[in-house]
Structure 1
Amino acid sequence: MKIVDIRTGSIRIPLERPFKTALRTVEQVEDIVVRVTADNGLEGYGEAAPTAVITGDTTGSILCAIHDYIRPALVGMDLEDLDGVMTKLHSCMVKNTSAKAAVDMALYDLYAKSLGRPLYKVLGGHRTHFETDLTISVNDIPTMVEDSLDAVAKGYHILKVKVGKEGLKDVERIAAIRRAVGPDVDIRVDANQGWNAKEAVRIITAMEDKGLDIQLVEQPVKAHDLAGMEKITKQVATPILADESVFSPEDAVEIIRRGAADLINIKLMKTGGIWQALKICAVAEIYQVHCMIGCMLESKLSVSAAAHLAAGKGIITLADLDGPSLCKYDPYDGGPIYEGAGIAMTDAPGVGVGGIPCDHWE
């Protein structure tokens, strides 16, 4: 089964409400879609989310990477040699992990379709359904409380609360949300690199002293500040999740070796797709460090690929795959079934997503 063509298009989907973190504010998904075609007529689809503040990738850099480097390198290769194709994908240029992720997931979609099997079963078939959290954007406290109560009313049992802009005021935010939602809702706190190490220890300790029962704190300091991450992890009781600090298997090894986090967040836009994410899973399995599967501001297309990875691998025990729930509508057909907090896999071959809303492919 040879690769005969790789094309790109674009999608735009408005969000239900602005997505606000310590790093950025976004009002709509504006992503690149990829279609890979094989000589037997089968097609696979993927998606890249330009997230310059995290990955460094822009719409222009993604398109350039795919058209000028990835497509010339892969067209003509035999997908039955999956490892060979993936090795070529990741060696044809450095970085630009989002472009690689889009092509990678399209290739895995195509590969699983050729086997007539859903991708999650090809990847291990560990589970058929799981639960995601829902993100609460950073806003004034009354708005965050209202958004949290709305999420709980919709059936979400886990909230991922964005903080990192106003130091100790974040403690007030979380305390107000905890009072509003009660003790039975899990709260995850995501600072998006918004604190320094000393500040993070002070804030997390204050949350612990108030009995706010935080499930985890995600990426409290800058991605490169592994010494700060290590200090925080050793000085607080709340589990620390490394996100922007982990792009590669090598990053995961270094985080684990230093004891700089208790958990690893895998995102396909950071790893360059499923192939490298599986290597991070293998590292995590060796050291028995549990992983979260996360996403950027992505549509159901790429989030579904991440869902297949989560369903395939047992070491992934936490999910932050709320991208489709943040969108005003779902333009696709098929794929995993999203019902409130629940994500259920189907037996459709590949990733299972069709009806790609793209009229023009380049």
Structure 2
Amino acid sequence: MRITGLTAYRGALRYAGTAYAFAGGRSYQQFTSTVVVLTTDEGLTGYGEVCPCGPSYMPAFSGGLPACLEELAPHVIGEDPRHTSRLHRKMDRALNGHAYAKAAIDIACWDLLGKAAGLPVHVLLGGLLTETMPLHRIVPLASPEAMASALATHRKAGFRHFQIKLGHDVDDDIAMMRSLATSWQPGEVWVGDINGAWRRDQVARFSRSLEHLDLILEQPCASYEECLSFRQRAHHPIKLDECLNSVADVQRALQDDAMDAMSLKVSKFGGLTPSRLIRDLCAAAGIPMTIEDAWGSGIATAAYAQLAASTPTPYLLNTTDLHHFNTTQLAAGAPQVIDGTMRVGERPGLGITPDIDQLVGPILQF
């Protein structure tokens, strides 16, 4: 099998809530998704999707994706998409960095691999190890009253894992968390996500003030070094996200004992090929993971859900259903969501079919 064509489309994903807000004054209502379509000489088609969470969240910019894909396309045309590691190495030689652009191609290759084998991708990533995956729901940064209302709504819908965005004044966030904690229920998992907004002294004060609360603190400071320094005196488990951007970063964090958990966003690391390696490294080290992506529709959800489903249950902290965060669906066949959990299907590949009518383009055709 050989890749004969690469086509890219764009789709607008509007957030289903009022605004997706987090620390640092960042707030978004709409995101731009890029969908890559790979065609082959055997008539199979593979799909991949990357949707950065705005231009200021991680090193990924939706406006730069077409230029990166145009650079990569000549190097993947003619390649066998089933040889995912070989193709990823070729992309790395052709373009330094820009893992998010490579992710769109890599995910489409895994879709093709699954379709060629007649198997869902999770089987090829290790087999179905977590049949029912717990989902977390995000409580965006807002007024304490609005955040309490969002938390109650998610709980009523069956969710038991919550990512609570922090980033007000530290004293205000301490008061807010104390108020929210009065509704805490046994079996719930709470993550306070700071998105790197605080200094070490600020997060130390927050953690000390709430040491009685069963809470995971995610990305408390901007840099890896600050997070590592804080971890030595933290009163809560530490989960890392934004400061980990490569396999080498994760290896360093494991060696330094810098984290108790991590967020594994598939597009940030370059797709399923490197993410599978990170998943296995963390599982071997006993580090639980939230396996997800920055944003996206049903295509992105299907991709990371395949990785999450093939993760040993003790090391899957949770995942999420990004396609339900949007008012628009760009694909059919996304994983099924029931009572705060998600299951993957048994269709070959990613199991999804894009709705081309919802997409703009082609914006690139090679």
* Structure 2 length-normalised TM: 0.92
Q: What is residue 306 of structure 2 aligned with on the other side?
A: 308
Q: What is residue 229 of structure 1 aligned with on the other side?
A: 227
- 1:7 partnered with 2:7: yes
Distance (whole Å) between structure 2 residues aligned to residue 168 and residue 272 of structure 1 = 38
- 1:138 partnered with 2:155: no
One-letter code aligned to 1:198: D
Distance (whole Å) between structure 2 residues aligned to residue 273 and residue 47 of structure 1 = 10
Distance (whole Å) between structure 2 residues aligned to residue 355 and residue 102 of structure 1 = 14
One-letter code aligned to 1:245: C
Aligned-residue identity in percent: 22
Paired residue for 1:74, among 66, 73, 76? 76
Deviation at 1:247, TM superposition (A): 1.3
Q: Secondary structure at the match of 1:270?
A: coil
Distance (whole Å) between structure 2 residues aligned to residue 316 and residue 302 of structure 1 = 21
Q: Which runs of 4+ in 1 moved over 6 A?
A: none
One-letter code aligned to 1:238: H
Q: Secondary structure at the match of 2:15?
A: strand
Whether contact under 8 Å (1:123, 1:309) holds in the other structure is yes
Distance (whole Å) between structure 1 residues aligned to residue 338 and residue 20 of structure 2 = 21
Equivalent residue pairs, number: 356
Whether contact under 8 Å (1:304, 1:335) holds in the other structure is yes
- After superposition, where does 1:255-270 map in structure 2 within 5 Å? 255-270=253-268
Deviation at 1:213, TM superposition (A): 1.7
Deviation at 1:212, TM superposition (A): 2.4
One-letter code aligned to 2:41: D
Q: What is residue 124 of structure 1 aligned with on the other side?
A: 126
One-letter code aligned to 2:351: G
One-letter code aligned to 2:160: H
Deviation at 1:228, TM superposition (A): 1.8
Name whichever of 125-134 and 171-180 sits farther off: 171-180
- 1:271 partnered with 2:269: yes
Distance (whole Å) between structure 2 residues aligned to residue 128 and residue 90 of structure 1 = 33
Distance (whole Å) between structure 1 residues aligned to residue 144 and residue 253 of structure 2 = 33
Whether contact under 8 Å (1:135, 1:322) holds in the other structure is no
Distance (whole Å) between structure 1 residues aligned to residue 347 and residue 296 of structure 2 = 21
Deviation at 1:184, TM superposition (A): 4.5
Q: Secondary structure at the match of 1:172?
A: helix
- 1:36 partnered with 2:38: yes
Q: Secondary structure at the match of 1:79?
A: coil
Unaligned stretches of 5+ in structure 1? none
Paired residue for 2:180, among 177, 184, 190? 177
Whether contact under 8 Å (2:194, 2:218) holds in the other structure is yes
Q: Secondary structure at the match of 2:29?
A: strand
Distance (whole Å) between structure 2 residues aligned to residue 79 and residue 26 of structure 1 = 35
One-letter code aligned to 2:117: L
Q: What is residue 358 of structure 1 aligned with on the other side?
A: 359
Question: Per-residue displacement from partner, 1:73-105 (whole Å, max 9, x unpaired)?
Answer: 100112243321121123321221221111111
Whether contact under 8 Å (1:167, 1:203) holds in the other structure is yes
One-letter code aligned to 1:234: Q
Q: Secondary structure at the match of 1:89?
A: helix
Distance (whole Å) between structure 1 residues aligned to residue 161 and residue 84 of structure 2 = 36
Q: Secondary structure at the match of 2:164?
A: strand
Q: What is residue 105 of structure 1 aligned with on the other side?
A: 107
- After superposition, where does 1:340-359 map in structure 2 within 5 Å? 340-356=339-355, 357-358=358-359
Is the alpha carbon distance of 1:201 and 1:144 closer, same or farther for their aligned partners in structure 2, counting shifts above 3 Å? same
* Structure 1 length-normalised TM: 0.93
Deviation at 1:321, TM superposition (A): 1.6
Deviation at 1:262, TM superposition (A): 1.4
Deviation at 1:196, TM superposition (A): 1.0
Whether contact under 8 Å (2:13, 2:296) holds in the other structure is no
Q: What is residue 213 of structure 2 aligned with on the other side?
A: 212
Distance (whole Å) between structure 2 residues aligned to residue 35 and residue 95 of structure 1 = 21
Whether contact under 8 Å (1:55, 1:96) holds in the other structure is no
One-letter code aligned to 2:335: P
Deviation at 1:27, TM superposition (A): 0.7
Q: What is residue 158 of structure 1 aligned with on the other side?
A: 161
Whether contact under 8 Å (1:57, 1:98) holds in the other structure is yes
Distance (whole Å) between structure 1 residues aligned to residue 8 and residue 185 of structure 2 = 46
Q: Secondary structure at the match of 1:235?
A: coil
Whether contact under 8 Å (2:335, 2:343) holds in the other structure is yes
Name whichever of 33-42 and 171-180 sits farther off: 171-180
Deviation at 1:134, TM superposition (A): 0.3
Whether contact under 8 Å (1:65, 1:99) holds in the other structure is yes
Unaligned stretches of 5+ in structure 2? none
Name whichever of 158-167 and 312-321 sits farther off: 312-321
Distance (whole Å) between structure 2 residues aligned to residue 7 and residue 355 of structure 1 = 13
Question: Per-residue displacement from partner, 1:225-251 (whole Å, max 9, x unpaired)?
Answer: 333212222212311011011111110
Q: What is residue 21 of structure 2 aligned with on the other side?
A: 20
Whether contact under 8 Å (1:7, 1:34) holds in the other structure is yes
Name whichever of 17-26 and 163-172 sits farther off: 163-172
Whether contact under 8 Å (1:190, 1:218) holds in the other structure is yes
Whether contact under 8 Å (1:117, 1:347) holds in the other structure is yes
One-letter code aligned to 1:264: M
Q: Report the RMSD for the aligned CA atoms in angstroms.
A: 1.7
Distance (whole Å) between structure 1 residues aligned to residue 240 and residue 260 of structure 2 = 8
Deviation at 1:345, TM superposition (A): 1.2
